[in-house]
Amino acid sequence: MAIKFSGEFAVPRTPDEVYDFLTDPNRFAPLLPDFKGLTVQDATHFTVKVDVGISYIRGAAEVKMELTQADRPKRAAYKGQGGVGGSSVSMNAGFDLSATDGGTKVAWQGEAQIFGGLASVAGGLLEPLGKKQVQKLIDGLQAALG
């Protein structure tokens, strides 16, 4: 099952400041909904732990993330792989930054692929729940950068 996300927002920071924030997991990871922890391996690899609860599947998911594109101050992109409750998730997310009068426009897009029991049990709940969680993250990014 694939879920796609996209949108844009503007913040009163320079593209360099926004890029620095989006490429530092210590700054943005705590904004993830149900964030539990972060382990940074190096400048482009980190593991984030979040609580997951859909239907009767509950637990902590560990997602290994990699910064796959770092084009300062225009683009940052990530890919990730993780699992919870016997299911696996792969995802990618990208942020394209452009200067505006008084700040930066952030155009974001992403996709999550969910495999295994979670997709079959939660089925139709996954997309609206995923979109709600992504919107919480985007709202947190806007507030932190505002």
| pLDDT, tens digit, 9 for 90 and up, residues 103-125 | 999 999 999 887 776 656 655 66
In SS3 terms, the chain reads as: CEEEEEEEEEECCCHHHHHHHHCCHHHHHHHCCCEEEEEECCCCEEEEEEEEEECCEEEEEEEEEEEEEEECCCEEEEEEEEEECCEEEEEEEEEEEEEECCEEEEEEEEEEEEECHHHHHHHHHHHHHHHHHHHHHHHHHHHHHC
pLDDT at position 120: 61
For residue 131, pLDDT beyond 90: no
- Chain-wide mean pLDDT for the chain? 89
If pLDDT is split at 50, 70 and 90, which confidence band does 144 have?
very high
Count of domains in the chain?
A: 1
User: 54: domain range?
Assistant: 2-145
pLDDT at position 18: 98
If pLDDT is split at 50, 70 and 90, which confidence band does 29 have?
very high
pLDDT at position 96: 98
Average pLDDT (27-47) is: 95
For residue 86, pLDDT beyond 90: no
For residue 145, pLDDT beyond 90: yes
For residue 77, pLDDT beyond 70: yes
If one compares 123 and 41, the residue with the highest pLDDT of the two is 41
> Residue 135 maps to which CATH number?
3.30.530.20
